[in-house]
Amino acid sequence: MKRGVFPGSFDPITLGHYDIVQRSLPLFDEIIIGIGTNTEKKYMFPLEKRAAFVKSTFATYKKISVVEYEGLTIDLCKKINADFIIRGLRNPADFEFEKAIAHTNRLMSGIETVFLLTAAKTSFISSSIVREIILNQGDYSKLVPSSVKI
Asked if 30 and 63 count as a contact pair (C-beta separation under 8 A), the reply is: yes
Confirm if 42 and 11 have CB atoms less than 8 A apart: no
106 is known as an active-site residue: no
Q: How far apart are CA 109 and CA 92, in angstroms?
A: 25
- Start-end of H helices in 6-46: 15-24
Short-list 122, 143, 114, 117, CA closest to 31: 114
Cβ atoms < 10 Å from Cβ of 12: 26
55 is catalytic: no
Whether 131 sits among the annotated catalytic residues: the reply is: no
Q: What whole-number distance in Å separates Cα of residue 39 and Cα of residue 24?
A: 27
9, 50, 87, 127: which is the annotated catalytic residue? 127
Q: Which of 17, 24, 50, 87 is catalytic?
A: 17
User: Of residues 90, 99, 106, 131, which has the active-site annotation?
Assistant: 90
Does the annotation count 126 as an active-site position? no
Q: Which residue in 2, 41, 121, 149 is the catalytic one?
A: 41
Between CA 121 and CA 115 the distance in angstroms is 18
Tell me the catalytic residues: 17, 41, 90, 127
